[in-house]
Amino acid sequence: MTRPDPAILDALEHMLDAQCDAEVLRAADGSWAAELWQHLNDAGVPRTWIPETQGGAGASWFDGLGVCRVAARYAAPVPLAETLLAAHVLHANDVTVPAGVLNVVCPQAYDSLRCDRQGRLHGELNRVAYGRVLDGLVVVFDDHEETRLAVLPGEVLGVTEAENLAGEPADQVFLSEVLPSAMVAVPADTCEFVKRVGATLRCQQMAGALEHLLSRSIAYASTREQFGRPVAKFQAVQHNLADLAGEVSASCAAANAAGSSIARCGVLSDQAFVAVASAKIRSGQAASNGASIAHQVHGAMGFAREYPLHHYSRRLWVWRDDFGAETEWAETLGQFVAQQGADALWPTLTAI
């Protein structure tokens, strides 16, 4: 994987060291870390992928991936990945990127959405991350025989507040005669574009959170004593830490492969699909196994709400399901391989 710019990541780490401590994480459960977001926004982090000529940072694809991983290492309770993704989708379709907190959704089976003849939107969207604080919501939907992208100002959204497993806002958004600030026709595969890039960002976030779990677990096991010696000296704990290190390595490798494949072959290429699907499957498995191991190493302490471990494990459990759980990706990957035929499998794998 081509590396992100170390200067960008170092600056972000210094900012999060100062602004994202345990007190901020506890206070942000079910609420909005406005001060943290303001610092990130002032530094241009949410607009990493937007060209400088349009008010963005003009950074590379890999810089954006690295930013998401670093933020996940700190469990930053803000919709950074969501805003990056929404801005990326808008820019890719030549739509002006509004300022502020953004998200992009493609309506699912549990949502309802229709567009009337005047171009006004009606319906209900569920589980919209940070819906209550959005400055803009990007909706990609099918309207008769074409796919459209609409930008909805945050102030016109009706919101019923809800939370996900991590305690982050995952709200119901209601639309009643909402007139978009912009609406354009887009390629029919735009939702697939959103899903693949979104899954890639979630893989980076899972890798970052798992890296933190490993370092925290090693530090805890090295200082926590039982029977007169650190628990890290016990063979069973050493095996657990080794297993956790393996899960972290697998998650990082898979996430990096997905990012590199998209950069080299394009988001909608077959090679990118195989890489992203494989990464989401393996990262989801690593999230489940890694969180379990970390809690085992910490024992009862890991389940205390005052201890920060759960800020990472709960986010891992949410991220593994976002943009398709590993079971969904495994099914579509299996179907793709079967349709391609045995002779096409090896060339596809070697091209990743």
Angle ∠(128,43,212) on CA atoms, nearest 5: 65
Is pLDDT above 60 for 95? yes
Is pLDDT above 70 for 1? no
Is pLDDT above 60 for 329? yes
Same domain for 128 and 175?
Answer: yes
Total-model pTM: 0.95
- Please give the residue that has the higher pLDDT: either 111 or 282: 282
Domain residues for the domain of 141 are 99-186
Structure tokens at 149: 């992208």
Q: Which of 181, 213, 163 is nearest to 318 (CA)?
A: 163
Q: pLDDT tens for residues 130-162?
A: 999 999 999 999 998 899 999 999 999 999 999
92 within a domain of the structure (yes/no):
no
Angle ∠(294,73,30) on CA atoms, nearest 5: 90
CATH classification of the domain holding 316: 1.20.140.10
Q: What is the mean pLDDT of residues 118-128?
A: 95
Question: What is the band of 348 on the pLDDT scale with cuts at 50, 70, 90?
Answer: confident
Question: What are the φ/ψ torsions at residue 270 (nearest 5 degrees)?
Answer: -65, -40
Same domain for 68 and 150?
Answer: no
Residues 6+ apart with CB under 8 A from 286: 206, 210, 247, 248, 250, 251, 254
Q: Which of 124, 136, 130 is nearest to 166 (CA)?
A: 130
Q: Name the 3-class secondary structure at 264.
A: helix
Question: What is the band of 96 on the pLDDT scale with cuts at 50, 70, 90?
Answer: very high
Do residues 98 and 135 make contact, with C-beta atoms less than 8 angstroms apart? yes
Of the residues 186, 219, 243, the one at which a domain ends:
186
Question: What is the band of 16 on the pLDDT scale with cuts at 50, 70, 90?
Answer: very high
**What pLDDT was estimated at residue 26?**
80
Same domain for 295 and 211?
Answer: yes
Q: What is the 3-state secondary structure of 106-132?
A: CCCCCCEEEECCCCCEEEEEEEEECHH
Cα(68)–Cα(46) distance, integer angstroms: 10
**What pLDDT was estimated at residue 91?**
96
84 within a domain of the structure (yes/no):
no
Structure tokens at 60: 């590379």
**What pLDDT was estimated at residue 319?**
98
Q: pLDDT tens for residues 22-74?
A: 788 887 777 789 999 999 999 999 999 999 988 889 999 999 999 999 999 99
Structure tokens at 248: 């972290």
Domain count, the chain: 3
Same domain for 140 and 241?
Answer: no
Of the residues 125, 151, 186, the one at which a domain ends:
186
In 175-208, which positions are buried (b, 16+ CB within 10 angstroms) versus exposed (e)? beebebebbeebeeebbebbbbbbbbbbbbbbbb
Q: pLDDT tens for residues 234-291?
A: 889 899 999 999 999 999 999 999 999 999 999 999 999 999 999 999 999 999 999 9
Q: pLDDT tens for residues 181-233?
A: 999 999 999 999 999 999 999 999 999 999 999 999 999 988 887 887 887 77
88 within a domain of the structure (yes/no):
no
Residues 6+ apart with CB under 8 A from 48: 8, 56, 57, 59, 63, 64, 67, 84
**What pLDDT was estimated at residue 155?**
95
Under DSSP, the state recorded for 233 is G
To the nearest whole number, what is the mean pLDDT of the chain?
93
**What pLDDT was estimated at residue 266?**
96
Is pLDDT above 90 for 165? yes
Same domain for 181 and 194?
Answer: no
Question: What are the φ/ψ torsions at residue 301 (nearest 5 degrees)?
Answer: -60, -35
DSSP, residue by residue, 152-196: EEGGG-EEE--B-TTS-BEEEEEEEEE--SEEEEE-TTHHHHHHH
Residues 6+ apart with CB under 8 A from 51: 58, 91
**What pLDDT was estimated at residue 233?**
78
Structure tokens at 193: 């574009």
Cα(216)–Cα(221) distance, integer angstroms: 9
**What pLDDT was estimated at residue 227?**
82
225 within a domain of the structure (yes/no):
yes
Q: Name the 3-class secondary structure at 36.
A: helix
